[in-house]
Amino acid sequence: MDKKFSLAALKGEPLYVVDFPLPEGTLFGAVLPPPVPCGELLSIDPSAALALEGVKAVFTAKDIPGENQVNDLAPDEPFLAERRILHPGHPLALVVAESEEIARRALPLIVVEALGERPVFDPREAALKGRLHAPPEVLSWGEPDKAWEDSFWKIQGRADSGDQEHLYMETQSALALPLPYGGVKVFSSTQSPGGTQKTVARILGLPMHLVTVEAFRLGGGFGGKETNANSWAALAALGARLLNRPLRLSLNRREDMAFTGKRHPYSTDYSLGLDREGRILSYRVLFHQDGGAAMDLSLSILSRTLLHATGAYRVPNGRATGLSCRTDHVPRTAFRGFGAPQAFFAIESALFQAAETMKVPLEELKERNLLREGDTLPYGKTLGKETLPASWKKAKALFRWEETEARIEEYNRSASWSRKGAALMPIHFGIAFTYTPLNQASALVNVYTDGSVSVSTGAVEMGQGVSVKISRAVAETLGIPPSRIRMESTDTSRIANSSPTAASTGADLNGEAARRAALLLKERLLAVAAELLGASPEELLFRRGLLERGGKKTTWSWERVVKEAYQKRVHLSALVHYATPAIWFDGKRERGEPFSYYVSGTALVEVTLDTLRGTFRTDRFQVVHDVGSTPAPEVDRGQIEGAFLQGLGWLTLEESRVTPQGKMITDTLTTYKVPDFSSCPGVVDVRFLEEEEGGVRGLLGSKATGEPPFLYGIAGYQALWKAINAWGRPQPFQGIAPLTNERLLNLLVQREEGKP
């Protein structure tokens, strides 16, 4: 194992928790799920499991030395079930054994007595029963009711979007090591080492300085390892501390899919009022959010839903109401987009229905209502220079929208058993944590005497390329090749109180902190060089590792200046804290500037629908996206392409199903369908918006690409609906997702009647 670990490190391969060399005496854990979806827990008898050879312990709630609580925001989620079973994935006990196989064999030997109750899985039913995580949240602006009465066109409907499995490559995993001074170190697959540290400390009854959490590269996250990683890390730490031996806990794929939270399903009612020409006057929307059995991050997610309720459109009067409904599902959690996709899906459904009712092209209606400079958003923010109109105009021209429409119309007239559809999707997405205190980060940059550089931040690399962006920012600032820089793992003993790597802020926050730390170091080193050369620091700079004076190379290398600085006892480390400036939000008034900047773009998606089979293929994905001045275009291109496919999967393929008793039946990749290579568009054309833009941006003038492009999947959904409407007898739009193959086939059959 040690040899494998060393070889992987030497080759630069990703190292996940299950790849780590296991210390001598390492034990293994397995988690006992409940026998009922929810209800009263009467007793747990582990005696038969303890009698199995190789089993070392079975820990339940009574063995917890600290607080039996996972949730940091509200005490509503016991770590191990004590008297109540909250949901089908609520852990009852931790089995610790000499091997993972033995631990799993012991699970069915534990005798559990419980009184099950009928679970509530429908958020609307939960709302009717008063089962809410918090009072309704309302964002209101203008005079929505009066504007509705004054509207010429009045559209009312419903939009339902489902959940989504994170399906990261690396399942939830943790390795915990007891430390001699009574502390514990946890290697965790977590997006939030600071949050995991806090949870482990609370459950073990330890101060945070006795708990260290370290995260190397993750095998994917997408939000599923922000708070969800905490329980599994704490279980590993609990066993390690109580038995004083290392312990590894790693969920298999079935457990991971059944025990962990997913994207929040929403069931939404809307009313959209427009004037005679199709300009939006009023938008009233009620979101029923399925928050699951405990609060987790539901309220923060609901807040972003409300802030993005109007999508990419100008809405002068509106009211958005959010209900976070307490169902008996596994608590829902963060997922790429963090509530904004559900909001965009609702208003896009309303516009699709409006276009059908008014008998006008959907894209014409969208263009008429696009956000522009000077428009005011629902929370009082007035937009400055805005790139959305430019991206829309450029996409229509570059991708020949009018020709596309004409070609598809001709195809649908002549095709036998297939139909085509295409749609344009504009996005306008705010970048920042909606909880203002999270918008801060720290970075530690060390320059060693050989000239090599180490960078530690709170950012966790999970395949999104944040390490590439930060290392390039530091390299550019110092004037040295990126090869001289090592990005360290994320460790709570080096970077304290770190925010999660989430909300598309990882590079903006941590990268800016690292850049500023590098700037301090550069100033110190240039001061040393200036003294040695008898020059002013303003004359000097490092370029590709060589010192230049007045634009001309000198004989001094970066390494030589570093050595001289050390001899002169100049500090070669810098720790810098950065907080995003000028953002604030008054939650009581629902007004403020909650975002640092906005990301805009426009995508065209074309699909071909097989009307006999209910299947489809994506022919084209073409997009004009504002990335600002990106330091890593290849990273951003990959993020845009991957986010689109994930968004398309959410709305057309991915569907979780549970039995009435709460048992998940889509807990493997044979029963849960996700986009694969066959889902990739035949044509992929990603263009970056080159137009100059003023205002605030992120790291080195870039803009985030983690979450915003997910919304382009809605274009695929609308293109599918257009293809459906081109077949058979027209029927009213139904805002329901995902449009699985079964659902597509049913819709096509409904339209078959009356077909010539």
Asked if 285 and 356 count as a contact pair (C-beta separation under 8 A), the reply is no
| Strand 280-290 relative to strand 584-586, pairing | unpaired
User: How many whole angstroms separate alpha carbon 220 and alpha carbon 4?
Assistant: 22
DSSP 164-187: -----SSPSEEEEEE-TTS-EEEE
User: How many whole angstroms separate alpha carbon 478 and alpha carbon 453?
Assistant: 10
User: How many whole angstroms separate alpha carbon 188 and alpha carbon 214?
Assistant: 6
Phi/psi at 131 (5° precision): -90, 85
H/E segment holding residue 443:
strand 440-447
- ∠ at Cα 95 (92, 100), nearest 5°? 130
Q: How far apart are the first and last CA of the chain?
A: 68
DSSP 57-76: EEE-GGG-SS-----SSSS-
Radius of gyration of the chain (CA): 27
Q: Strand, coil or helix: what is 155?
A: strand
Question: DSSP label at 611?
Answer: T
Residue 707 annotated in active site = yes
Judged on CB neighbours under 10 Å (0-12, 13-18, 19+), 678 is: exposed
Please give the distance of CA 524 from its chain centroid, rounded to a whole number.
Answer: 38
CB 547: neighbour CB atoms within 10 A? 23
User: How many whole angstroms separate alpha carbon 653 and alpha carbon 402?
Assistant: 29
User: How many whole angstroms separate alpha carbon 602 and alpha carbon 393?
Assistant: 9
Beta strand ranges found along 292-431 (DSSP E) = 318-325, 418-431
Helices 466-478/512-533 angle, 10° precision: 20
- The amino acid at 315: V
H/E segment holding residue 641:
helix 633-652
Q: What is the dihedral of CA 65, 67, 68, 70, to 10 degrees?
A: -130
Helices 512-533/558-567 angle, 10° precision: 80
User: How many whole angstroms separate alpha carbon 746 and alpha carbon 737?
Assistant: 14
Q: Which residues pair with 382 in a beta bridge?
A: 376
Helical residues (DSSP H) of 421-511, grouped into ranges: 466-478, 506
**Annotated catalytic residue: which of 356, 564, 707, 752?**
707
Q: Which residues pair with 291 in a beta bridge?
A: none
Q: Strand, coil or helix: what is 748?
A: helix
Question: DSSP label at 125?
Answer: H
Asked if 602 and 624 count as a contact pair (C-beta separation under 8 A), the reply is yes
Asked if 408 and 420 count as a contact pair (C-beta separation under 8 A), the reply is yes
| Strand 153-161 relative to strand 735-736, pairing | parallel
User: How many whole angstroms separate alpha carbon 487 and alpha carbon 704?
Assistant: 20
Judged on CB neighbours under 10 Å (0-12, 13-18, 19+), 11 is: exposed
Known catalytic residues are: 707
